[in-house]
Structure 1
């Protein structure tokens, strides 16, 4: 299993709109092949920052299956205009801990 991590810096005073848009966008990603689950966390110290964690069966499920899909275009239209700067996305595989 692969963990996708993205730190999302949302434009000031747009967090409520972002959260509403995300509630629609999360249904898109949840329907994708290889999707396992996700979490969105709101930062306590920096109120415009979020942490998005998405679990995928394989790296390709995200980088090819999702990112090259028509559904990704809708995801992008819903969310990408909220970010400043645009997030860096990283992928991880688990090496320790429960279920490693």
Structure 2
């Protein structure tokens, strides 16, 4: 399993609108993608315009090829992109250890 970690900064004052948009985009677009295995959305407390999204994929290629090179990626960006204050930072991780 691969973790995609997305660090997003949105425009100030747009949190309520983004909250709805990101949840809708994840459930209707990304949630139907090949290799999708789940997600979590984390909203900043000290920095309310910051969101960290965790998306779990079966393989790296499910995200980088199957999703990113599909029309669904453009749909996703159409939903959430207008809120971005800057381009999101995206990184991928392999699980090393897990507790609990």
One fold, TM greater than 0.5?
yes
Q: Distance in 1 between matches of 2:24 and 2:98?
A: 32
Deviation at 1:34, TM superposition (A): 0.2
Q: Distance in 2 between matches of 1:87 and 1:71?
A: 18
Give the aligned CA root-mean-square deviation in angstroms.
1.3
- Give the match for residue 32 of structure 2: 31
Deviation per CA, 1:70-96, whole angstroms, max 9, x where unpaired? 111110101112111111100000111
Deviation per CA, 1:40-87, whole angstroms, max 9, x where unpaired? 011111111111000000000000011111111110101112111111
What TM-score comes out, normalization by structure 2 length?
0.93
- Give the match for residue 41 of structure 1: 42
Q: Distance in 2 between matches of 1:16 and 1:60?
A: 32
Q: Distance in 1 between matches of 2:99 and 2:72?
A: 32
Deviation per CA, 1:22-53, whole angstroms, max 9, x where unpaired? 12201210001100000101111111111100
What TM-score comes out, normalization by structure 1 length?
0.93
Q: Distance in 1 between matches of 2:6 and 2:74?
A: 18
Deviation at 1:98, TM superposition (A): 3.9
Structure 1: gaps of 5 or more residues? none
Q: Distance in 2 between matches of 1:60 and 1:38?
A: 17
Deviation at 1:20, TM superposition (A): 1.4
Structure 2: gaps of 5 or more residues? none
